[in-house]
Amino acid sequence: MTALRTIKLNLLLTWMSIGSVVLTGVLLLTSLYFYQKANIEHTILENNNAYARKLAETADRVIGISQQELAYSASKIHSLNDYQTMVDEADRLRLQSGFFNSVIVVNDRGIILATSPESLNLRGIGLQSKANKNALKTRKLYISQPFFTGTTGRYVIFLSAPLFDHAGNYLGYIGGSIYLKQKSILNQIISTHFYNYSANVSIVSNDGHIIFNKDPNKVGSQIGIDDQLKKMLRQNMSGTYVINHDEATQLLGVGSLTKTDWNVFVYADGSLVNDIMLSTIRQSVWFIILILVFTSLLSFILSTLIAQPLRRLAILSASKPTAHVVEEIRQIDAWYYEANKLKVSISAGMVSTIKQVKNLDREASTDPLTGLLNRRGFMTLASVSGKHSENALISLDLDHFKRVNDTWGHDTGDKVLVMVSGILKTICRETDLVGRFGGEEFVIMLPGTSTENAEKIAKRIRCTIEQEKHPQLPSVTISAGIAALEDADSIDEAIKMTDIALYEAKDKGRNRVVLYRSLCSQPLTSGVQSASSTHA
What tens digit of pLDDT does each residue of 96-123 get?
877 888 899 999 998 989 999 988 888 8
Residue 515 has phi, psi (to 5 degrees) of -95, 130
pLDDT for the residue numbered 536: 43
Confirm if 45 and 253 have CB atoms less than 8 A apart: yes
pLDDT per position as a tens digit, 376-417: 889 888 887 765 568 899 999 999 999 999 999 999 999 999
Q: What is the homologous superfamily of the domain 375-529 according to CATH?
A: Reverse transcriptase/Diguanylate cyclase domain (3.30.70.270)
Task: Examine residue 146 and say whether the peptide bond preceding it is cis (omega within 30 degrees of 0).
Answer: no
| Alpha-carbon gap, residue 176 to 267, rounded angstroms | 30
The pLDDT tens digits of the residues spanning 231-252 come to 777 777 777 777 765 667 777 7
Segment among 91-105, 308-322, 388-402, 500-514 with least mean pLDDT: 308-322
CA atoms within a 13 Å half-sphere pointing along the CA-CB vector of 417: 25
Tell me which of 3.40.50.150, 3.40.640.10, 3.30.450.20, 3.30.2350.10 is the CATH number of domain 63-179.
3.30.450.20
Specify the range with the lowest mean pLDDT, choosing from 4-8, 223-227, 371-375, 377-381: 4-8
Quote the CA–CA distance of 398 and 490 in Å, as a whole number: 26
- Structure confidence by residue, pLDDT tens digits, 349-375: 777 777 776 766 666 788 889 989 999
Q: Taking Cα atoms as reference points, which of 223, 145, 143, 211 lies closest to residue 181?
A: 211
CATH number among 3.30.360.10, 3.40.190.10, 3.30.450.20, 3.40.50.11900, domain 190-272:
3.30.450.20
Measure Cα distances from 65 to 59, 79, 158 in Å. 10, 24, 14
Distance (Å, rounded) from C-alpha 413 to C-alpha 120? 117
How many C-beta neighbours within 10 Å does residue 163 have?
A: 25
The whole-angstrom separation of Cα 135 and Cα 128 is 11
Supply the pLDDT for residue 527: 43
The angle at the Cα of 435, spanning 383 to 387, to the nearest 5 degrees, equals 25
Cα-flanking dihedrals φ and ψ of residue 70, to 5°? -65, -45
